[in-house]
Structure 1
Amino acid sequence: MWVATLCFFLVASGVLSKPVDDEPTCGYDACPLSDPATLNVHVVPHSHDDVGWLKTFDQYYFQDVQNVISSVIVALKLNPERRFVQVETAFFKKWWDQQKDSVRQDVINLVNNGQFEIINGAWSMNDEAAVNYQYTIDQYTLGLRYLEDRLGKCSRPRVGWQIDPFGHSREQASISAQLGFDSLYFARLDYRDKINRLSKKSGDLLWRGSSSLGNAADIFTSVLYNHYSAPPGFCFDIVCDDDPIIDDPESPDYNYQNRVETFANFVREQASKYPTNNIIVVMGDDFRYQAALNSYINTDRLIAGFDLFPQTFQGKTIKVFYSTPSCYAKAVNDYAITNDYNLEIKTDDFFPYADGVGNLVVGYFTSRPASKRFVRDGNILLQTAKQLAAAVNVPYDNVEINSLKEAMGVLQHHDAITGTELIDVTHDYHRLLHKGISDTSDAVDPILSNLITGSGDNDLQFKSCLLANVSYCPETKSDQFTLVVYNPLSRVVSSPISVPVDTETWSIVDPEGQEVIYQVEPTVIDFSEIIPEAVSPFFLEFVATDLPPFGYKVYTFAKTESAKIKSVTVGNEDTSFEVDETTGLLTSVTMNGVTLDISQDFLYYTSGGGSQAYVFTPASNDPQTIASTVTTSVVEGDIYSAVVQEFSDWAHQTIKVYKHDSSHIEFDYIIGPLDINDGGKEVISRFTTSLNTEGAFYTDSNGRETLKRVRNYRPDYEYTDEQPVSGNYYPITSKLAIKDEDSGLEVAVLNDRSQGGSSIEDGQLELMVHRAISTSDAFGLDEQEYDHGIVIRGKHYLVVGPSSGNGEKSLAAIERDVVQRKFLQPWVFVTNQDVSDQLVNLQFSNLKTSLPDNVQLLTLEPWKDNTILLRLEHVLEKDDDPNLSVDVTVDLSDLFVAFTISELAETTLAGNIPIDEYEPLHWPGSTNDTPKVRRDVGADLQVTLSPMQIRTFLATVTYN
C-alpha cells in the first residue's frame, strides 16, 4: 500500500512534473508500429472502475480510484513506452478537481503524447439494456465536453469501451459509431456465442448498428478474450497475489524465462482464435493499478523478456508492446486493407447474455423498478431544464442543472439503472438523483417565475410533486394552487395530468380563462398504508390541451362546492374494451377499426435457486395466477372511462380509455408489497390473444430501432433451451409487440420504464413488472421502504390494430407517437402561493411552429457564449410508415422565439468533433469502405434528415 500512497503524494505535490510538449502526438500517430511479419501483442493496461456497485461512488473514489489515477500518472512519466487508458469521466472529474496546476499539466502532456489515452469518455460505463438512447447520448455529451475543455483535442476518444455490461444492444453500436468512435470493445456475451466465435475466428467483427442508417452505424467490434482480466497469473497490483517477475539470475526465486514462456503460451492460444496477426491482451481488472509502479515494473520486464527469450507462433516472432484499444483497431484495419480481408458483419445484438448453462442474466431488465422509473422522471426534468435554460440564456456551467446532468450520468452505470448494486448503494444513487432533481428545480424556478411574471423580481417557488403517484403533494392540499404544465416535445400535445387532492369539487381555469373539465376519483388503494405522510384521498385528472412545443400553460385551481356530472361509457367511439363480468378480466379491445379478443392478467413466477438481481431463474416455467376472480368497479367520467380491478391486497389495476385520445388503452397498475416468506416472486403482466405469431415477437433497442426476435433461436449460434422462459427474455425499454402476418394484425405493449419481456407462447406478450427475492449472495431484491417491501406503481399502454394503421398513420408510427408522448410527458410544477396578481404570461413556447410528426428536436441546451447545442432526429425507421419514413427538411432560420440562429456548425453526435475533422476508419467488405454521405447545411439553415438519422449542430444565436 505504501507504493500507492507515495505515488499519490508525489502527484498531488507536483514533484514529478515536466514542461508541456509543443507539438502533441496523439491518436493513431502515437501508436506503436505493428509488424506485418510478426504476431503483434497489444498489451493494454486498464482499470475498470464502477461508479458504484459493492461500494458507493464516493467510497470507491476515496478508497480506490484516487490511488489508481495518481499512481498511474507517476508511473507513466518514468517510461515513455508505457500506456494507460482512462474510462470513467465521473471519477476523473473528482480526481482532477483535487489536483494542482502542475499535476494537471502532467496529465495534459501525457494525453498529448498518447500515453494516457481517454477511451469511452462517458460519465460512466452505461448499461445497454435498461437505458434509453437519450440518456446515453446525454451522458457521453457531458463526459466528452468535460474532457475536451480541460485536456484539449487529444482527449477525444476513438474507442467505445463497454467491457462490463451484461449484454450489448445494437443501438449502443449505432451511437458509438455516430460519436465518432472507430471501435467498440466488450467482454460479456453468451458463453455459446463466444465459444462459436472463437472457434471460427470471428471475435473481431464489423457491427452494423442500424437497419436504417447503413454505413453511418458500422463499427469495428472486438470481443475480449479473457473477460477484461489480465492473463491468469499476471496481475501485479497490490490487490493480487500473483508472483512477481524476478529477473535476477542470482536469486533463488528467479523465474524470468519461465514466466515469459507461460505468457507466450497464453498468447499462442489467444492468437489461434483471432483473424489477424494482432491480438489485444488487457492487463487489468476491477480497480487495478492502485500501485501502478509495481504493475508497470513487472510488465516492463515481461515485454523485455520477449527480446531476451524469443518466442514464436506459427513461424512468426511474437512481438509484445504497450498499446491501446485504438491502436489495436488501427493495426487490424491496416491488416484488413493490406490483405483485402473482410471481417464478419453482424446486424442484430448480443442479448440475452448467459454466463453459464442455464444462468440467464436477464433479471436485471426489471430489478429495482422504482429506480428505473426515477431515472426516467429525472430525464424529463433535465430536458425541461435545458430547454428553458436555452430560452433565457442560462450558461452551460450552471451548477444546479449540472448537478442533475452528473447524477443522471452516474445512474446510467451498468450497476445503477440495472438494479444490480447492493441496497446501500441503491440508496446512495437515489440520494444523488434526488439532489440533482432538487437542485435543478431550484434553477428552473426563477426561469419560470421570470417568464410568467415578466419580471425578475418575483420568485413563485414552484415545486415538483415527486410523490404524486402515491397521492402525496403538500402544495395541492391547499384550497387553491397553480400548475405550470411544461411540454418538452417539439410539437403540440394534449396530455392527461393527474394531481392528488383532498376534496372532489374544483374550479380549474386555463390560460384563456376557460373552465377546464376534470374528473376526481378515490385513490385505488389507501396510500397512507404505504407512506406515513398525510396523503390525499383523491386523484384529480384533467387534460392539458394543445400544450405548446417547448413551452408551458398555466392552470389555476380553487375549491368549489358544485358537484361534477359524470358521463356514461367505458371507452369512446373509437377505442374501448370489455371486461368479463364473472372473472373481472379483460376480454376484448376495439381500436383502429378492429375488435380483437385479448385478455390480460397478473401472474408470478416463483423464484428458483439461481434468481437474484442479475439472474432470472424461475422454479417452474408455468407462472401462478394471483386470483381466479378479480373484483371490479366501473368508473365513468368526463376525462376517462375505466375499470378498477383488485386482484389481491397487493395487486391492483385501473384500465383507462381517455376521451381525448384514442391511440391507446392505459393499464395503471400497483403491485406490492410482495410476500416472499414462501419464496421469491417475479410478477408479470401477460396479454393473451389468438394471433398466429409463429414464434416471432419484436422489441425495441434502447427506445429507438426495432429488432425481430424468434423464440428459442439465435442467429449466430446453436441455441439450447435449458431455460425456456428466461432464455427468451429481452430488454424492453419502450415496446414489445407481436404480429399475425396472415391477418395483418399487430398488438404492442408500451411501458413507462425498462422491463424484461417476451412472448413465451404464440399470441402472448408478457412484461415483468416487479421482483422480490431473498438470496444468500447479497444480491437479493428484498427492498424495504417505510418498513415494508416496496410498492410499484407503473403503466403499460396497449396499442392494437392492423399494421397498416388507421388510414392516416401506420401502427408503427402510432406506437412511436405514443412512446414519445409518454417518455417525454409534460412536467408539472406547482405552487400554493397566492400568485393571482403576478400571472402575466400564462403560456409560452420557444418554437414558433410545431415540428413535423416524424421529427423531434432531441436536444436544446446552452453550450458556449452565444452558442446552443441542437440535435434533430428523425423518429421513424425506414420501413415504419410509407408516408412518414421519408426524408424530411426542417427550416431553422425562423423557428425559435427566444433567439435567432445565424450559423450552424455540424458535429459528431456528442457535439465535440466538427464534422469536417471527423475521418473514420474504412473497412473492406462493408458499406463503410466509402466516405459517409452528409448533407451540407447552407446559409438558409435548412436541415434534411433521413429515417433514424440524428444530426447535431452548434448553433450560433442572437437572443431576441
Structure 2
Amino acid sequence: MKRKKSQVRQLIDQGRLEIVNGAWSMNDEAAVHYQSTIDQYTLGLRVIEDALGKCARPRVSWQIDPFGHSREQASLLTQMGMDAIFFARFDYRDIAKRRSEKTMDMLWTGSANLGSESNLFASGLYHQYNCPAGFCFDIKCNDPPIITNPNSPEYNWENRINEFVNFIKEQSQFYPTSHILITLGDDFQWKAAHNGYINVDRLIEGFKKFNPKIEDKEINVIYSTPSCYTKAVRDYVEEKNIALDVKTDDFFPFSYTTVSVFTGYYTSRPTSKRLERFANSLLQPTKQITTIAGKPYYFNNTLSQAIGVMQHHDAITGTEKAAVEKNYHKAIIKGMHEAVSYISSSLSSILGFSTDLNLRTCLLSNVSICDESDKDEFTILVYNPLARTTSHYIQIPVNDWTWKVTGPSGEEVENHLTEPIKDFSYVSNDIGGHVLKKVLFFRAENLPALGYKIYKFQKINSASSSAKGKVGSVDQMGFSDRYVNFDLTTGLLKSITINDVTMAVSQKMMFYKGWPSDSNAYTFRPDSNERDAIELGDVVNTVLINDGNLVREVKQVWKNWATQIIRIYKEEDFIEFDWVVGPIDQSDDVSIEVITRYTTELNTDGVFYTDSNGREIIYRKKDFRPTYEYTDEEPQSGNYYPVDTKILLKDGEEQFAVITDRAEGGSSLHSGEVELMLSRNLLHDEGGIIGETLREIEYQQLLVARGSHFVTLGMSSLGNGGRTMAAVERDIAQRKLLQPWIFYTSEDIPVKEQSFLNKELPNNVHLLTLENWIGDENKILLRLEHILEKDEDPNLSKEVEVDISDLFKTITIKSMKEYMLAANTPLDESVRLKWPQIIETEEESSPLNKKKPNGTR
C-alpha cells in the first residue's frame, strides 16, 4: 500500500494523473446554499492536499452529472482558483444551438459584480461523460475489443481506427478550435481498467501507424486531462485570434426533452432540504465556539462530512431512494449530537467550569416535542452566530401553564402562549416523547454579536395564560404599522401593510396534478388535461390564535392536510407564512404537487428575479431564455427556477419578495404573481429512473412537511429605516439562514451575557467562516464577506474596511496569510489562466467603477 501511495504521488507530481473538482461530493447546483458549497469544497480539497501534496490541487471543476448549472457555482470556482468547468447536462435546445454555432466551448462570466475577474472556461461535453458508441471496453460492455494481430480472424485494427475517425469528425464540427475532448467512461465503469487501457493504447498506436486524416489534416490522439485541454484551447484562441462565446446567465432550467423538464427536484423531499439548512445553522456556531475556546473541532468531522455528502446531486436534490435519504439523515443527526457535545465542552472551558455544562438541544421542537422544556423550570442559552447584534423571536414548546421568563439581568421578559400549528401526536405515537400543548413566544433583545444570553423559565401557575382563540371571520390582524387584511367571504388574504406601504396581496393554496408518465423526483410535468394549478378553495376555518403584544397570529385551514399560520411580529420587516402540508390526500389516485401562490397588482410583464445559491440575483422572464429560443411545450415547468433564499417582483419603485427557509422551485407564471412549490407526492417513477416513487413515509404515515415563507414588500429605493428593499431582504435572509441557536442547561452559568468579540462587524459584513485549521491548533480559517451586491444600496453596497487585529477576545492574531476561497491555495501561489479575450460589461468600462467590486473572499 505504501508503494502504491508513492506511485500515485509520483504520477500527480509529474502531471500524468490529475484530480478534478476535489470537493467532498459533486454537488448539486440548484438546491444548495453557497455557504455549504464553500464548506464542502474546503473539506475535500484539504483532504486531497494532505494526502497528495499541492501538485494535486484541482485546476478544473468536473460537474458532469448535476441537472443544470448555476452562475454562482461558476463564480465560486473562479474565487477558488479554478480555470475551467466541464459539464454535460444542459437544455437540449441550448445544446442544439451551440452545436450549430460551434460554441460548445465558451467563457462564462460567473458574477455580475466581479465581472471579468469571474471569467471561467466552460466546456459542454459532447456525449455527456460516457464512452463513444462502440468504444466501451469495460466488462459491462459488449463492444468488440481492438485486435491488432493481422493473422487473427478477428483482426479489426484499421476498421476500428476508421470508426474512431468518423466519431472525431462528427464531434469536431461542434467545437470552435482544432481540439476536442473525448471522455471514456460512465457510471460504475473501470471495473476492468486494464482492458480499457490496452484498447486505448491500441487506438493511439493505430493513429500513428495508419495516419488517417480529416480533410488533409492530421489527427493527433493522446491521453490528456481537462486542464491540458483547457490550456490547449486557450493557446489556440490566442494564436488564431478568435473569440469564444460569452455566457452571463445560468443553465437553468435543464430540459432533457420536450416533456422531461428537470424542475421537480428543486422541491423534491422538502424536509430533507430543510434538515440540511438546519444542520448548517448548527455547524457554523460549532466551528465558531470551538475556535474561540481553542478546542479544535476540525472541519474533518462527522457533521461537516455529513453535510458535505448532503450537497451531492442525488442527495439535496431529493432524487435518491428513501432508504438512502434516511441514511443521509442518520449521519446528519449523529453529527448534530456530536456538535452539541463539542459546543458544551468548549463553552465550559471558556467559562472556566471544571465540569461539562452538559448543554442539550431539542431537534424536534418544530413538532412540539422537547423533553428539556417539559418541566416546571428550565434554563436556555441563546447563542447568536452573527458577528453583529441581533434580536430574535424565540419559540419554545411548553406545557399549558402560566410562565415567568427572566433575562440575564434578572429582568422579567414579556412572553405569551399560543397554539401549535398542528397536532403532532402521530410523531410521539411512533417514536415516543411527550407532545407539548403550547408554544411560548418571547423576544430575545439585542443578542450580543458572536455571543449569548441566558434566560430562565419558571412555572408560576397551573392555569393557562393563553388567550382563547377567536374562531370565525377575521378581517384584520396585526399591529398599527404592520398588519394584514382578509376577505371576509373567502377567508383569504387580501392585503399586506408593512414598511410604510400597503399592497393588495392575495394568497392561495393550490396543487398540480402530475402527469402519470412524466413526473418523477427529477421532473415536473402537470397533467396536460388540467394544466393550471387547482385551488384548494376558500379557507374553511380561520382562528385568531394569538393576539399578544409581541406576536399576532391567524391560523387558516384549507384541508386537514393543508394549514398555515400567518404570523406578524411587532418589530420585524416581514410577515411569516408558517405552512404545513401533509399527509396529502391522494384518494383520487393522482400525483399531487402542492404550491402556494401569492398574487399582487404589480405589473411585471413576466419579469421576476431569483437568487443564485443565496448570493447574486438573476433576472428571469417567463417564456424567455437569453441564449436560445424558448419553446413552450411545458409552460409551467419550463418556467420554474430554483429558489434557494429569495424570489422577488418589481414594478417601478414597488417591490415584493418571498424569502424561503430551504430550496424550493418557484416561478411567476402570470403578471404580479409568485408561486412556490411546497411538497410533492408522486405515484409514478417515470422510466424507472429511481426504482421507487416519490411517496415519502415518515413516522408511519405519508409525509408532513412544515416550513416558512417570509414575505416583505416596500419601496425599492432608500427608506425602510434608511435602507433599500434589497438591503432589507438580504438582512432577513441572513438572519433566517443563521438563526440564534437554543441550548438547554441545568447548570448555573455565572456569566449571563457576553460577546466573544471586542467589536461587532458592520451590518453589511458577514463572518462567513471561523474555524480551527486541521493539523495546527494555532491556525484558524477566517472568511469575511460583503453581503450586498454593488448596486443594491447606495450606502451599504460601498466597500468596507475592517480591522481584524483585535476583533476577537480570546484570539490574538500574530500573522495572516490570504488564500483563495477554498483555503487550499495561498493567494500568491494562485495563477489562473489568462484569456486573451477582453470582456467588459457596461459597468466595468465606466471610469466610476474601477475599484474592485464586492464579492465573497
Name the CA distance, whole Å, in 1 between partners of 2:213 and 2:416. 79
- Residues 114-193 of structure 1: matches in 2 within 5 Å? 114-193=15-94
> Does structure 2 conserve the Cα–Cα contact (< 8 Å) formed by 1:774 and 1:781?
yes
Partner of 1:698: 609
Q: Deviations over 1:284-331 (max 9, x none)?
A: 111221211111111111111111122212321011000000000000
| Residues 795, 398 of structure 1: alpha-carbon distance in 2 compared, 3 angstrom cutoff | closer
- Residues 419-438 of structure 1: matches in 2 within 5 Å? 419-438=318-337
The counterpart of 1:752, out of the listed 650, 656, 661, is 661
Name the CA distance, whole Å, in 2 between partners of 1:668 and 1:674. 17
Deviation, structure 1 residue 185: 0.6
Counterpart residue type for residue 517 of structure 1: E
Partner of 2:456: 556
Partner of 2:722: 808
Name the CA distance, whole Å, in 2 between partners of 1:755 and 1:903. 42
Counterpart residue type for residue 369 of structure 1: P
Which shows bigger deviation, 320-329 or 253-262? Answer: 253-262
Partner of 1:775: 684
- Residues 651-666 of structure 1: matches in 2 within 5 Å? 651-661=562-572, 663-666=573-576
Counterpart residue type for residue 594 of structure 1: V
2:222 is the counterpart of 1:317: no
- Residues 760-909 of structure 1: matches in 2 within 5 Å? 760-776=669-685, 777=688, 778-804=691-717, 805-806=719-720, 808-831=722-745, 833=746, 835=747, 838-863=748-773, 864-909=776-821
| Residues 424, 566 of structure 1: alpha-carbon distance in 2 compared, 3 angstrom cutoff | closer
Partner of 2:847: none
> Does structure 2 conserve the Cα–Cα contact (< 8 Å) formed by 1:604 and 1:682?
yes
2:520 is the counterpart of 1:612: yes
- Residues 604-683 of structure 1: matches in 2 within 5 Å? 604-609=511-516, 610-619=518-527, 620-634=530-544, 635-661=546-572, 663-678=573-588, 679-683=590-594
Name the CA distance, whole Å, in 1 between partners of 2:115 and 2:36. 23
2:831 is the counterpart of 1:916: no
Name the CA distance, whole Å, in 2 between partners of 1:563 and 1:720. 60
Partner of 1:293: 194
> Does structure 2 conserve the Cα–Cα contact (< 8 Å) formed by 1:876 and 1:947?
no
Which shows bigger deviation, 389-398 or 631-640? Answer: 389-398
Deviation, structure 1 residue 572: 2.4
Deviation, structure 1 residue 865: 3.3
Name the CA distance, whole Å, in 2 between partners of 1:308 and 1:717. 43
Name the CA distance, whole Å, in 2 between partners of 1:367 and 1:240. 33
Name the CA distance, whole Å, in 2 between partners of 1:221 and 1:230. 20
Name the CA distance, whole Å, in 2 between partners of 1:138 and 1:339. 40
> Does structure 1 conserve the Cα–Cα contact (< 8 Å) formed by 2:416 and 2:441?
yes
Deviation, structure 1 residue 566: 6.7
Counterpart residue type for residue 390 of structure 1: T
The counterpart of 1:576, out of the listed 483, 487, 510, is 483
The counterpart of 1:535, out of the listed 408, 421, 435, is 435
Deviation, structure 1 residue 118: 0.8
Q: CA-atom RMSD, angstroms?
A: 1.8
> Does structure 2 conserve the Cα–Cα contact (< 8 Å) formed by 1:885 and 1:947?
no
Name the CA distance, whole Å, in 1 between partners of 2:299 and 2:641. 38
Deviation, structure 1 residue 916: 0.8
> Does structure 1 conserve the Cα–Cα contact (< 8 Å) formed by 2:384 and 2:448?
yes
> Does structure 2 conserve the Cα–Cα contact (< 8 Å) formed by 1:451 and 1:841?
no
Name the CA distance, whole Å, in 2 between partners of 1:857 and 1:628. 45
Deviation, structure 1 residue 947: 5.0
Name the CA distance, whole Å, in 2 between partners of 1:104 and 1:186. 29
Name the CA distance, whole Å, in 2 between partners of 1:763 and 1:630. 26
Counterpart residue type for residue 711 of structure 1: K
Structure 2: segments with no counterpart, 5+ residues: 471-475, 845-849
SS of the aligned residue for 2:782 comes to strand
The counterpart of 2:506, out of the listed 584, 599, 602, is 599
> Does structure 1 conserve the Cα–Cα contact (< 8 Å) formed by 2:484 and 2:497?
yes
Deviation, structure 1 residue 630: 3.2
Name the CA distance, whole Å, in 1 between partners of 2:89 and 2:761. 40
SS of the aligned residue for 2:219 comes to strand
Name the CA distance, whole Å, in 1 between partners of 2:584 and 2:282. 31
> Does structure 1 conserve the Cα–Cα contact (< 8 Å) formed by 2:297 and 2:342?
no
Partner of 2:261: 360
Name the CA distance, whole Å, in 2 between partners of 1:652 and 1:912. 47
Q: Deviations over 1:563-598 (max 9, x none)?
A: 648799832233211122221111001111111110
Name the CA distance, whole Å, in 1 between partners of 2:308 and 2:840. 31
> Does structure 1 conserve the Cα–Cα contact (< 8 Å) formed by 2:426 and 2:699?
no
- Residues 101-500 of structure 1: matches in 2 within 5 Å? 101-395=2-296, 397=298, 402-452=301-351, 454-455=352-353, 457-500=354-397
Name the CA distance, whole Å, in 2 between partners of 1:780 and 1:762. 34
Name the CA distance, whole Å, in 1 between partners of 2:672 and 2:30. 24
Q: Deviations over 1:547-576 (max 9, x none)?
A: 112111111112111764879983223321
SS of the aligned residue for 1:571 comes to strand
Name the CA distance, whole Å, in 1 between partners of 2:531 and 2:295. 55
Structure 1: segments with no counterpart, 5+ residues: 1-99, 933-943, 952-960
Counterpart residue type for residue 855 of structure 2: Q
Which shows bigger deviation, 373-382 or 102-111? Answer: 102-111
Name the CA distance, whole Å, in 2 between partners of 1:845 and 1:241. 66
SS of the aligned residue for 1:866 comes to strand
SS of the aligned residue for 1:321 comes to coil
> Does structure 2 conserve the Cα–Cα contact (< 8 Å) formed by 1:483 and 1:829?
yes
Partner of 1:586: 493
Deviation, structure 1 residue 781: 1.2
Which shows bigger deviation, 631-640 or 168-177? Answer: 631-640
Deviation, structure 1 residue 520: 0.9
Q: Deviations over 1:877-926 (max 9, x none)?
A: 11111111111111112111111212221110011111111111111223
Counterpart residue type for residue 360 of structure 1: V
4+ runs of 1 displaced by more than 6 Å? 565-569
Q: Provide the TM-score with structure 1 as the length reference.
A: 0.84
Partner of 1:687: 598
Counterpart residue type for residue 259 of structure 2: G
Deviation, structure 1 residue 927: 4.2
Count of matched residue pairs: 828
Which shows bigger deviation, 516-525 or 689-698? Answer: 516-525
| Residues 439, 448 of structure 1: alpha-carbon distance in 2 compared, 3 angstrom cutoff | same
Name the CA distance, whole Å, in 2 between partners of 1:165 and 1:945. 35
Which shows bigger deviation, 515-524 or 137-146? Answer: 515-524
Partner of 1:734: 645
Name the CA distance, whole Å, in 2 between partners of 1:718 and 1:654. 42
- Residues 23-38 of structure 1: matches in 2 within 5 Å? none
Once the two structures are aligned, what percentage of the paired residues are identical?
Answer: 48
Which shows bigger deviation, 523-532 or 866-875? Answer: 523-532
Name the CA distance, whole Å, in 1 between partners of 2:168 and 2:784. 46
Deviation, structure 1 residue 141: 0.4
Partner of 1:949: 855
Deviation, structure 1 residue 188: 0.3
Which shows bigger deviation, 107-116 or 785-794? Answer: 107-116
Name the CA distance, whole Å, in 1 between partners of 2:770 and 2:796. 24
> Does structure 2 conserve the Cα–Cα contact (< 8 Å) formed by 1:566 and 1:638?
no
Name the CA distance, whole Å, in 1 between partners of 2:852 and 2:679. 38
Deviation, structure 1 residue 690: 1.3
Name the CA distance, whole Å, in 1 between partners of 2:327 and 2:16. 34
